[in-house]
Structure formats: C-alpha cells, structure tokens
Structure 1
Amino acid sequence: MNDLGKLLVVIGLLLATVGVLLWTGIGRSWLGRLPGDIHYTRGNFSIYFPIVSCVILSLVLTLLMWLFRR
C-alpha cells in the first residue's frame, strides 16, 4: 500500500505541473494543433479530434510510468 501512495503523489504532482504549464500558456501553440489532428468544418457543423496529440501524450505517460516502476 505504501507504493500505491507514492505513485498517487507522483501522478498528482505531475498533473499539477502540467496544469500550471498549460494555464500559463506553455503548450497552447502546439498542443492539439499537430499534423495529423483531425479538424473538419462544414457549415454549422464542426468536429475536432486531436488523435496525434493523444498518441504523443499516451507515449509520454507510458514512458513515465515505466520509469517510475523501475
């Protein structure tokens, strides 16, 4: 149970850091606007899915989790 507590604290601090960075404006210029992100607009209909941003975020989080497990 001790390891789970440490993991939750690290994840919380990581989320808080990312939140502060996004809140201050770092990342607004590229996050969600990468090549491969889908944005379709036609008339009054608009759909947006940041697929490449999601894949990169998933890879970064997977790498961090792998590093913290070692």
Structure 2
Amino acid sequence: MVSAYLMIKTAAGRSADLLTAIEEQEGVHEAHIVAGQYDIIAEVGGENVYDVVHAASTDVRDLEGVVDTRTYICLD
C-alpha cells in the first residue's frame, strides 16, 4: 500500500463544495479544510504509486475550482 498527502489550493469560496467532491474520489481516505498556504489536505492511498499519482493528478486536479495541487508520497 502506498500513501500520500495531497495539498489542494482552491478558487475563492470553493473549498466547502470541493471538500465533498474530493472525499468522494476513489483512493481518498480523508480530507480536511485547513488554514494556510493550501485550502484542503487529503490523505490518498493505493496499491502502487501509479494509483496515488492518478488520484492526485487526474481525479482531484480535474475538479472544477482546483487551482493547484502538491503531492507528498509517504516513504515509510
């Protein structure tokens, strides 16, 4: 199992709506609205690195209102 944290920056006023959409994406274990440089942090997982990258770069990144993402793959 590969795990990663996905930092998500949203368009103004879109965090609450996007939180629900992100939580429904395959591979997302949990997500939270946070204060700071990014608006949402999500924990994602999959059988291999490809699954995690796909969840981050395609599934979440393609949601309308997502402005930027950063993916941090866990090494332990």
Q: Normalising by the residue count of structure 2, what TM-score does the alignment of the two structures yield? A: 0.29
Q: Normalising by the residue count of structure 1, what TM-score does the alignment of the two structures yield? A: 0.31
When Rg is computed on C-alpha atoms for both structures, the one with the higher figure is 1
Higher normalized contact order (CA 8 Å, seq sep 6+, divided by chain length): 2
* Larger strand share, 1 or 2: 2
